[in-house]
Amino acid sequence: MDFTLTEEQRMIRDAARDFAQSEIVPIAAEFDASGEFPIDTIRQMGELGLMGIEVPEAYGGAGLDSIGYTLALIEVSAADAAHGTIMSVNNTLYCNGILKYGTEEQKHQFVTPIASGEKIGAYALTEPQSGSDASNMRTRAVLSEDGSQYIINGKKSWITSGPVAKYIMLFAVTDPDAGARGISAFIIDTDDPGFHRGKTEPKLGIRASATCEVEFEDYRCPVENRLGDEGQGFKIALGVLDAGRIGIASQAIGIARAAYQASVSFAQERKAFGRAIGEFQMIQAKIADMRSRLEAAELLTLSAAWAKQRSHETGERYTLKASMAKLHASETAMFTAHQAVQIHGGMGYSKELPVERYFRDAKITEIYEGTSEIQRMVISRLETGLR
């Protein structure tokens, strides 16, 4: 098995690391405290190709592969998980979905400005009453009498980048009697009448990645803006989430790596009882466990990214690998951030150091784009064939 990166993969990784350390790290704490959306750095990320890494150049992207995307997202997330969240949604939930299921016209119109970083994309699946049970949605899309547009009514919640998004991939019920097979996907222009944004959510972590509810009141969506066929929406949502889970795994690795590196440095420098605390076996055990879990998470995630890249040629699903990567990486992030706070002691609880931010940011990786409980269910069902 060859783990050697290509020149392109190393290039995008190094470019992302240089940018993240020089431009994102210095502002991360400030934007975390204010909750303000970091539009300037996000636009710079677009100029570097980070907002559409796997998007072909013909549609405004960088035209690189899934492993390059994963490596770049880890670097950005190690600097600030909120920037990583925005980058992940833009790439894997929004652009990836339209590239996979959209028409040529849709790709040119709705991917190009998002992949270039000129505009922001979002993904709207969750509703106030349906999180993990996504098929229980109530947002309705009714075809007009002349068949030219859908009239959409309903509410979506926890929409990452919702407060700033130009376009949103929306999932709504077109046939209430068909269950999951009655859900369709649409591309929404947020500047059109009938679209309303709710308040920005006051979150525990990833605070600079703006999140809000969005509401539709007799919103008129042209039929040509439907993504795929009627009734394909749930299939599209699940397919897009496979890619999204690799993105969250990458984000989680970035958080875990930052927490781990901070802990190693602190263990080397902090003295107690006349010795560096890294000389004590309790601290050594924590460092060993953190590093081992981080290495395993990286390998699982790169394996999933490889399977995703291969799927472009074979059409094979990579659900199992994506779920395993997301499950292990997110729990590794939470474990590592927790240990980092413990190693830092009182300073780990202080906002003077970024460790407490890593702790707050890590938790969401176990929740969004499929909770750890959902990942275990997916993995078990795929392995046993039992429902």
Burial class (CB in 10 A: 0-12, 13-18, 19+), 62: buried
Are 324 and 211 found together in one domain? Answer: no
By residue count, the chain amounts to 387
Are 269 and 374 found together in one domain? Answer: yes
Are 240 and 374 found together in one domain? Answer: yes
Mean pLDDT by groups of 10 residues along the chain of 387 residues: 90 98 98 97 96 96 96 98 98 96 97 95 94 88 97 97 98 96 98 96 97 98 97 95 97 98 98 97 98 98 97 93 98 98 97 98 97 98 95
CATH number at residue 132: 2.40.110.10
CATH number at residue 75: 1.10.540.10
The answer to the question of residue 1 being in a domain is: no
Return the C-alpha torsion angle 139, 132, 324, 76, nearest 10: 60
Are 134 and 57 found together in one domain? Answer: no
Query: What does the pLDDT read at residue 291?
Result: 98
Are 111 and 147 found together in one domain? Answer: no
Q: Label residues 238-269 b or e (16+ Cβ within 10 Å = b).
A: bbbbbbbbbbbbbbbbbbbbbbbebbeebbee
- Please tell me the total count of domains within the chain: 3
CATH number at residue 286: 1.20.140.10
Are 244 and 348 found together in one domain? Answer: yes
Are 258 and 350 found together in one domain? Answer: yes
Query: What does the pLDDT read at residue 135?
Result: 81
Are 370 and 260 found together in one domain? Answer: yes
- pTM for the structure as a whole: 0.96
The answer to the question of residue 2 being in a domain is: no
Are 183 and 304 found together in one domain? Answer: no
The answer to the question of residue 304 being in a domain is: yes
233/371 Cα distance (integer angstroms):
21
Q: Is 104 a catalytic residue?
A: no
The answer to the question of residue 319 being in a domain is: yes
Query: What does the pLDDT read at residue 1?
Result: 67
Decide which of 67, 96, 119 is a domain's last residue: 119
Are 351 and 279 found together in one domain? Answer: yes
The answer to the question of residue 178 being in a domain is: yes
Query: What does the pLDDT read at residue 131?
Result: 81
The domain containing residue 314 runs over which residues?
234-384
The answer to the question of residue 165 being in a domain is: yes
Query: What does the pLDDT read at residue 61?
Result: 95
Are 253 and 361 found together in one domain? Answer: yes
The answer to the question of residue 286 being in a domain is: yes
Decide which of 210, 231, 252 is a domain's last residue: 231
183 bridge partner residues: 173
Are 102 and 129 found together in one domain? Answer: no
155/275 Cα distance (integer angstroms):
57
Contact between residue 303 and residue 311 where contact means Cβ atoms under 8 Å apart: no
Decide which of 231, 248, 271 is a domain's last residue: 231
From the list 7, 75, 369, 383, the catalytic residue is 369
Return the C-alpha torsion angle 205, 207, 208, 212, nearest 10: 120
